[in-house]
Structure 1
Amino acid sequence: MLARRAKSALLAAACFTALLWLAYFLTLPLQNSLLPELGILPRQLEGLDGILFAPLLHTGTGHLISNSLPLLAFAFLVLLEGLRRFAAVTAICWLASGIGVWLFGGGLTIGISGVVFGLFAYLIVRGFYNRSLPQILIAGVLFLVYGSILWGILPTAAGVSWQSHLFGAAGGVLAAIVLRTDPDRTQKRVRP
């Protein structure tokens, strides 16, 4: 059962990551005109559609490669909880990151990194809200391996949207709160 769920989660995470690569290669010839059209332009009405489309766009293979491995790992771990949970967490992180950038961003913003930060934050805090020791232990391992990415929520590098990272991470925490499970209620359902 667990092996089948892990296999399905890995396949779904790989497909989600592959979708970004497909979008990159399809938009590559049109990037000069497409990125400003579909990216997030802060506080401009024509930039609102970027909230939906910007995470699918990347400026180069380096940009996409730097997001792909953590996205694959974090998506896999969230997908172990089920496709509906993954869809809900991703949607909350996607919207939180996009709206935050639209309200407070400094310029044209594209890329999936806000969602990556959101998935990471969700995985780090969900165990505390769910009161689940296994999830807390996974969070500890993730923090040891990927914790340094949290520097990305600070305005340290020119051309990197720390706002996307910050609001994506806030979306991940929000998702953990909104989607938390009640261990007492879950145990009552399992008992005969």
Structure 2
Amino acid sequence: MKQQEHFKFSTGVVAYPVFFVLIIWLVFWFEVRFGFNFSKYGIYPQSLKGLRGIFLSPFIHGDIKHIYHNTIPLFVLSIGLFYFYRPIAWKVILFGILFSGFLTWCIGRPSYHIGASGLIYVLISFTFFKGVFAKHYRLIALSLLVVFLYGSMIWHTLPIEKGISWEGHMAGLITGVLFALFFRKEIAKPKKYVWEQENYNEDNDPFLKHFDEDGNFVESNEPEIEQEQTKFNYIYKEESKDGE
């Protein structure tokens, strides 16, 4: 896949993350406005009824502090995802919700697990390891930015604080790594120079035909090379005039 197909700004880069975050806030507003509590629709591990939380839990939050702390990283990381990995962005989000949710259902404590933090850890993990695997300066820079902004969140994948679903965070982290490996072929790679390509042949290089084995410039009667040669001579003469 061509690099420009990845690094291309479009209205969806911002519109989709805004839409996703807006739905989360609308659900929270509905709870507060009409006095509902949707926590019972979260993930409840090892329970058939708790399976519905895999689909619903990312849209449910306990209080204003919970939803606020999830909104900003979700919005920022989603924008980065849709900008740098637009062709697979929806796959990462939708399957990220499913896989991380199911893993939380498998390993979680017998309690309701709610919030979009599992998806956030999917995006953090995916973005970081994808950039490392790509070996592309833009994606590596994005990975370093993610580490700078959210690197401290790695501690929340451990049971160090009560009331936090560290299992959901761990599930998201693992899912992100797996996605980075699975979608390796979708990684935008830096454009290679001609001589770095596998099918490169020195004998067919039009530039090298201008020079002999000792590196001296030679004349040529071939139309393509003659055209390049005329251009080369013109540039050389112009530079010589400037140097006088």
Bucket of the pairwise TM-score, normalised by the shorter protein: 0.7 to 0.9
Per-residue CA distance 1:76-115 (angstroms, 9 max, x = gap): 0001035541111112321222112111111111100000
User: 1:174 pairs with 178, 190, 199, which one?
Assistant: 178
Asked if 1:165 is matched to 2:179, the reply is no
- Does structure 2 conserve the Cα–Cα contact (< 8 Å) formed by 1:97 and 1:163? no
Structure 1 alignment gaps of length 5 or more = none
Of residues 22-31 and 140-149 in structure 1, the stretch that sits farther from structure 2 once superposed is: 22-31
Secondary structure of the residue aligned to 2:21 is: helix
Q: Amino acid of the residue matched to residue 77 of structure 2?
A: F
The two structures, once aligned, show a CA RMSD in angstroms of: 2.6
Distance (Å, rounded) in 1 between the aligned partners of 2:8 and 2:164: 38
Distance apart, 1:30 and its partner CA: 5.0
User: 1:119 maps to which residue?
Assistant: 123
Distance (Å, rounded) in 2 between the aligned partners of 1:92 and 1:69: 21
User: 1:145 pairs with 144, 149, 161, which one?
Assistant: 149
> TM-score scaled by structure 2?
0.69
- Does structure 2 conserve the Cα–Cα contact (< 8 Å) formed by 1:92 and 1:175? no
Distance apart, 1:48 and its partner CA: 0.7
- Does structure 1 conserve the Cα–Cα contact (< 8 Å) formed by 2:8 and 2:83? no
User: 2:76 maps to which residue?
Assistant: 73
User: 1:131 pairs with 130, 135, 140, which one?
Assistant: 135
- Does structure 2 conserve the Cα–Cα contact (< 8 Å) formed by 1:131 and 1:183? no
Asked if 1:16 is matched to 2:51, the reply is no
Distance (Å, rounded) in 2 between the aligned partners of 1:183 and 1:77: 14
Per-residue CA distance 1:151-182 (angstroms, 9 max, x = gap): 11111110100010011111111111111236
- Does structure 1 conserve the Cα–Cα contact (< 8 Å) formed by 2:42 and 2:54? yes
- Taking only the aligned residue pairs, the percentage that are identical comes to 26
Distance (Å, rounded) in 2 between the aligned partners of 1:96 and 1:159: 22
User: 2:102 maps to which residue?
Assistant: 99
Secondary structure of the residue aligned to 1:181 is: helix
Distance 1:170 1:92, change over 3 A: farther
Corresponding pairs, count = 187
User: 2:214 maps to which residue?
Assistant: none
> TM-score scaled by structure 1?
0.86
Of residues 64-73 and 121-130 in structure 1, the stretch that sits farther from structure 2 once superposed is: 121-130
Structure 2 alignment gaps of length 5 or more = 198-244
Distance apart, 1:130 and its partner CA: 2.4
Secondary structure of the residue aligned to 2:84 is: coil
Per chain length, whose mean CA-contact separation is higher, i.e. which structure has more relative contact order (CA < 8 Å, sep 6+)?
1
Asked if 1:31 is matched to 2:36, the reply is yes
